[in-house]
Amino acid sequence: MARIKIDLDRRIGTVDRRIFGGFIEHLGRCIYGGIFDEGSPLSDERGFRLDVVQALRDLRIPVLRWPGGNFASGYHWVDGIGPRDQRPRRMNLAWHIEESNRFGTDEFIAYCGLVGAEPYICVNLGSGTIDEAQAWVEYCNGTGHTYWANLRRQHGYPEPYGVKLWGLGNEMYGSWQIGALSAEDYVAKAREFAKVMRMTDPSIQLVSCGWNGWSDWDRVVLEGLARYVDYHSIHLYTGSPDYYGNVLSPHLADFALASCQALIDRVRYEQGIDHPIYVAYDEWNVWFRQWGYDASVAGLEERYTLADALAVATYLNIFIRRCRTVRLANLAQMVNVIAPIFTNPEGLFLQSIYHQFRLYSEWTLDVALDAFVEAETYHLSSEQEARSPWRHRVARLGPFTLVDAACTVNSTGEEITLAVVNRDLQRAVQATIEFVGTAVRPGALVREVNGPGPDASNSFDQPAIVSVSERALDTGGSTISYEFPAHSVTLIRFH
């Protein structure tokens, strides 16, 4: 049994659609063989795989982060501009492969235009220089008759790209990162990058490189960079071979966002900072099978199950509920590499996580409501927790309700979307949905992501084992009874 209570007056805040952002990196077959496949009959004359473009368009990704990831910390962007045949072939040290540089800044911007996404570029704070970062902003956004702006024109792009979002490095705290730094050294370096990038284009928005949202790194970076940045990033993945460990560990994102908000509030108060600072949760996903950074897992071609889809839906519920904190998030990644879209030279299939990401992207409305949920709870054990390679201490954040919900409404209050994840492995949950001070009409639309079991997975041979079913709900009123099936994600659009 569960009880969900929806009160239109209990508004949390507006949901920024950019929480449905994506991320692509020069890693394995994400760009080459995924996004970009020159000479393929499935690609256009520029080399963009059109079947992938369509799948991404259907996801309605509002923003796309690039070029990494770990790759960003060794990437010299000038290698990737100009005539393709003259671009240097380099080692991609982060991912143990070769980089042809045939997909670079101009291709990325064109690709964003094709899929309808705003570009978000992460600069190289590892092996890159301040001049390179300055020149990159000038190449993209310059309007004057200066060298880099003119070079862009010379390459055939007269109009400035107007890239607003710029990341100040990727995971610079990590030993795996090229040019890793202490928090203090990162602050000193990033501050200088921020200054020249802003001098080049004062309208840009900057993202400081955060960790998990609660670490000392995050505190020091926020204290040092709050004046310069508009967003602070969080990277936090989860995943476990243990079913409940897997579907419940995204609650760590809730802890991360709450902790980071507290750090942001403190810094803004202490330093008297007027401008807002939001969280850019610019890498998130389920990732535990192809896990690590060594050459043996360099492809990171995770094959997703229904359980992973429930975890992804839980992340999205958390982002909606924490909409005042997180205004930008990027599913890592989009194609082949820990991704919802999986290609081969002949075509693609959509992984389980694609479907509910698309449902949320299509059906989430403007304003988040603080829905009340009463349901059975589940305690994770330390043995279950230990099965995850991430070693997150998520058990101590529980217990968690097996039913997790997020609710959004449009500005007039006439449309309501209720998103419910039933993480109970065995049992359907009979729920009462109560509306306070309003009633809904019969004919609500219901879409459900489900499959035969938690391990159900799509493939080229069986592309629809985990899929979406749709039906109409014939009841209305101020109290509705609904049965949420075991291991399911259900979105209901009420009118």
The verdict on 451 binding ligand AHR (CB under 6 A) reads no
Residue 142 touching ligand AHR (CB under 6 A): no
Q: Which is nearer to ligand AHR, 296 or 426 (CB)?
A: 296
In the complex, the smallest distance separating the C-beta of residue 295 from ligand AHR, rounded to whole angstroms, is 14
Part of the chain binding ligand AHR (CB under 6 A), chosen from 67-75, 79-87, 306-314, 452-460: 67-75
Least distance (Å) from ligand AHR to the CB of residue 25?
Answer: 5
270 included as an active-site residue: no
For residue 42, which phi and psi values (nearest 5 degrees)?
Answer: -90, -5
The residue within the footprint of ligand AHR, chosen from 43, 141, 170, 305 (CB under 6 A), is: 170
Strand extents, DSSP E, 182-324 = 205-208, 231-235, 278-284
* Whether residue 171 lies in the annotated active site: yes
- Our finding on whether 341 is near ligand AHR (CB under 6 A) is no
Single out the residue of 21, 28, 34, 68 in contact with ligand AHR (rule: CB under 6 A): 68
Residues within window 190-229 making contact with ligand AHR, judged by CB under 6 A: none
Catalytic residue among 171, 302, 385, 448: 171
Q: Is position 25 an interface residue for ligand AHR (rule: CB under 6 A)?
A: yes
Q: How many CA atoms lie within 13 A of 4 on its CB side?
A: 28
Nearest to 78 by CA among 129, 119, 31, 33: 129
Using CB under 6 A, which of the segments 68-76, 193-201, 244-252, 386-394 binds ligand AHR? Answer: 68-76
Candidate list 21, 62, 69, 210; residue touching ligand AHR; CB under 6 A: 69
**In the complex, what is the shortest distance from the CB of residue 424 to ligand AHR, in angstroms, rounded to a whole number?**
30
Q: Scan for tokens 């992207």, then name that residue.
A: 361
Q: Does 73 bind ligand AHR (CB under 6 A)?
A: no
* Interaction of residue 330 with ligand AHR, rule CB under 6 A: no
H-helix or E-strand spanning residue 59: helix 50-59
Q: Which stretch binds ligand AHR (CB under 6 A): 63-71, 146-154, 265-273, 426-434?
A: 63-71
Radius of gyration of the chain (CA): 22
Three-state SS letters, 409-469: ECCCCCCEEEEEEECCCCCCEEEEEEEECCCECCCEEEEEEECCCCCCECCCCCCCCCEEE
Stretch that binds ligand AHR, among 65-73, 271-279, 398-406, 446-454 (CB under 6 A): 65-73
The conformational region for residue 112 under phi > 0 = left, psi -120 to 50 = alpha, else beta, is alpha
Considering the complex, state which of residue 121 and residue 375 has its C-beta at the smaller distance from ligand AHR: 121
> Is 239 an interacting residue with respect to ligand AHR (CB under 6 A)?
no
Question: Does residue 47 interact with ligand AHR by CB under 6 A?
Answer: no
- How far is C-alpha 77 from the geometric centre of its chain's CA atoms? 23
> What percent of the chain is helix, strand and coil (3-state, nearest 5)?
30, 25, 40
CA nearest neighbour of 348 among 111, 58, 94, 42? 42
Q: How many residues does the chain have?
A: 495
Decide: is 106 part of the binding site for ligand AHR (CB under 6 A).
Answer: no
If one asks whether residue 167 binds ligand AHR (CB under 6 A), the answer comes out as: no
Of 41-49, 66-74, 105-113, 383-391, the segment contacting ligand AHR by CB under 6 A is 66-74
Measuring CA to CA, which residue among 473, 466, 375 is closest to residue 416?
473
User: Residues 6 or more apart from 296 whose CB is under 8 A from it?
Assistant: none
Of 298 and 480, the one with the shorter C-beta distance to ligand AHR is 298
Amino acid at 73: S
Asked if 171 interacts with ligand AHR (CB under 6 A), we say: yes
Burial of 434 (0-12, 13-18, 19+ CB in 10 A): middle
Q: In sequence order, which residues have a C-beta less than 8 Å from that of residue 444 and are 6 or more positions away?
A: 472, 473, 476, 492, 493, 494, 495
- 333 in contact with ligand AHR (CB under 6 A): yes
Q: Is 343 in the site for ligand AHR (CB under 6 A)?
A: no
Q: Which is nearer to ligand AHR, 72 or 313 (CB)?
A: 72
Cis status of the peptide bond prior to 69, with omega within 30 of 0: yes
| List 138, 283, 385, 448, catalytic entry | 283
Angle at 137 between CA 136 and CA 143, to 5 degrees: 120
Per CB under 6 A, does 298 bind ligand AHR?
no
User: What does the alpha-carbon distance between residue 390 and residue 256 come to, in Å, rounded to a whole number?
Assistant: 15
List the one residue from 332, 334, 341, 416 that touches ligand AHR (CB under 6 A).
332
Does 283 help bind ligand AHR (rule: CB under 6 A)? yes
Q: What is the DSSP letter of 306?
A: H
Query: Which position's Cβ is nearest ligand AHR?
Result: 69
Whose CA is closest to 238, among 307, 297, 183? 307
Q: Which of 35, 56, 70, 233 binds ligand AHR (CB under 6 A)?
A: 70
Note the residues at the interface with ligand AHR (CB under 6 A): 25, 68-70, 170-171, 235, 283, 332-333
Tell me the catalytic residues. 171, 283
